[in-house]
Structure 1
Amino acid sequence: MENPALEAIAEGLGRLGKSHAECAQIIASVAESAESQRPVRELKAALQAAGIACDADHVERVLLVAAARESARAIEALRVPVSVRELIRKQHASFGQASGSISLSIDAEENDPFVAACKIATLRRFPAGPIDWVVSGMPRSWFLQMPRLDLPRVLRFVFAEFGGLKPAFYVHIAHPPRNRTLVIEKEVRRAYYRMAQALELQPEMKGIMCATWLHDPAAFELYPYLKPLNEPYLELGGRLITNLGPAPLSSGFLKFNSERRELYERGELKLKSVVAMWPRKRALEWMRRTGPLE
């Protein structure tokens, strides 16, 4: 790190007896729960008590750099295409910047960018372009949220065509600045191509899936730029199989869009969380038929 503010925090962590490995372990434990994030908050408090300035997201970035360094040796062995390994390294390099296009502060009102960065730093989340993926699957609790009449059809698809509940690649929209290319069709298609390449290298994976309002047909009728994101499930052998009820406000469909908020407040916008699944076989058929997109 060449930034003086970040270097001062790194030195402060050293004075507190925290090694790179210990910092990396803290980041490796971070998830969505408040309890998993508690050690980061405690470490920030300890630095402040020692008289070390903890401005903006500087502490978080120093911890992320330490975690990325610990993960660096494992990147080459990942069962992902070369382009994804390059994206991981690029993301890791960005952690050492004193400021970025988005705050990575754990104290932000919505700290998902920090949680996502922790997962990328410790090779639990994989960048593919405007979208990322994690290894996950379909929780059994989802069946309780689906319309009952959909269940027979859903069960047939999940177990006969998709191959089971897990493991699978679960899609997430990338955080800024990478998500800005979500409106560029070729970039979305390239991201899916990278994911299909990774599927080929990981034969245990059932396919690609997600549950979000972005797959609600009502959404991509209103916002045509979402159609490339839905192409695998509408045209390439996948399927929009059911919904999990109204999209929660926490899913972010009202963020940064005053028009959408007005429609929602007038009761004219009622988006649902739609389950999208793309079986492994279909994704690989498309990848081989399409040819290189890199």
Structure 2
Amino acid sequence: MRSRTAAVTSVALSTAAALLVPAAAQTATAAEVRPRVSGHRGAAGYAPENTLPSFDKADALGVDWVETDVQRTRDGELILLHDRDLRRTTNVETVFPSRANRAVGDFTAAELARLDAGSWKGAPFAGTRIPTLSQTLDRLDRNGQNLLLEIKQPDLHPGIEGDILDVLARKGWLDENHVRNRLTVMSFGTNSVRTIHQKRPDLMTSVLVSSRPSLSALRGYATYADQVNPDYRQVSGDFVATVHALKGAHGKRLETVPWVVNTASAARTVAGWGVDGMTSDLPDVVDKALG
């Protein structure tokens, strides 16, 4: 059973949606828009997440957009990893047993380069390394893929926003084509998203949320973000309508791209609510389900 707070929030969003968006418009949105499907951490259902083989697998599946997570090493290198520590996706317990539970930022880039980030997913991926952001941008350019870049745990990496923008600029990812068509920067850290928007107001930005935000929170996010992206299990038609009734940081309709949809039935349900996109570990399964 939902808590009283969740129930009140649901009623508030439902009421706001009814006031802000005509029912006919809600129906048209759900019926006419086909959500964009993006590969979560590459194609994480098939290859070790946040690695070059995972992005290549997504490319082989015909996936144009991929999502990944960026953190910073102790010596300032930007690398791809989701978790706070390295135990789940690398052999850190073998290579650095006394430091296995330490955060990513406690290791140098050279130390991380010694780790196997693929064997946990299967023998064919043995020896896969943790890629740097620079290496990833090169690979995505080679593949012709686009990027949803999540700043992971920004409170553990003060100033990482400027470092990310420096790498993006150096690799040519802040030109007009990339900025307009191929790049979105996002985070659960709202201050981090706001910082990116302040430093590069031309960039598309997204706020990630674990629970469904209130209408007042959505209005706040819309001042510096173009998307608000929740867990897909927090989404409903009323929520989507409420989001779409607002204008984001660039004066266009605020969007919502839920995460992480991995079944055909969930994809069809979420698409029916009129979402703008979704991420998936199995992007081919979801794409096929949408027809």
In the superposition, the TM-score normalised over structure 2's length comes to 0.27
The higher-RCO structure (CA 8 Å, 6+ apart) is 2
> What TM-score does the superposition give when structure 1 sets the normalisation length?
0.27
